[in-house]
Amino acid sequence: MNKLLLLLMSAAALGAAEKDDVVAAVQRTFDAMQARDAAAIRATMLPEAQFFVVLDDGRVRATTLDQFAARIGETKEPLLERMWNPTVRISGRLATLWVDYDFHRNGTFSHCGVDAVHLLKTPEGWKLASIAYTMQTKGCALSPLGAPKGAK
């Protein structure tokens, strides 16, 4: 009986570590965005990665990885995306992350929403395959993370 309990506890610990790795992969993308480093953004994603944003008015806009990385790399003002309340689901080499976020540009709140991220596990680790996200400019709940350092 003790061996079974130990096996179950080990499996749970491995599952938690794998979920942490998925969240960390997305955080690396956010860190690369904050650094405005197009090469680092590309390194966190599959070359075919795509982005889909649902705007306040319901319109949907699609972007390729190259378009996204170039736009972030050319940005001159500081960017900050923060996430909280992650829900991770994993099946083999496929993972999804559903997470609340807020986004700040030049130290000022820009928008909030939900990121829905699909990731695939490669020999280099988890890579983002697609991100679909909502972009709300009004009616955002306050982040449980509080105001970012240097917020205006």
Which pLDDT score, from 0 to 100, does residue 125 have? 97
Give 25-42 pLDDT, tens digit per residue.
999 999 999 999 999 999
Residue 68's CB: how many other CB atoms inside 10 A?
20
pLDDT digits (tens, 9 = 90+) for 5-21: 444 444 444 578 999 99
State the pLDDT at residue 77. 95
Q: Which CATH class is domain 2-134?
A: alpha beta
For residues 6 and 131, give the distance between their C-alpha atoms in angstroms, rounded to a whole number. Answer: 37
The angle formed by the CA atoms of residues 71, 77 and 79, to the nearest 5 degrees, is: 75
The per-residue pLDDT for range 120-145, each reduced to its tens digit, is 999 999 999 999 999 999 999 889 99
- At 1, is the pLDDT very low, low, confident or very high (cuts 50, 70, 90)? low
CA atoms of 81 and 62, how far apart (whole Å): 19
Domain ranges of the chain: 2-134
DSSP string, 35-102: TT-HHHHHHTEEEEEEEEEE-TTS-EEEEEHHHHHHHHHH--S-EEEEEEEEEEEEETTEEEEEEEEE
Q: By C-alpha distance, which of 131, 101, 122, 146 is closest to 21?
A: 122
* pLDDT per position as a tens digit, 99-118: 999 999 999 999 999 999 99
Distance of CA 126 to the CA centre of its chain: 12
Q: Which residues does residue 89 pair with via DSSP β-bridges, in sequence order? A: 96
Query: How much is the pLDDT for 44?
Result: 98
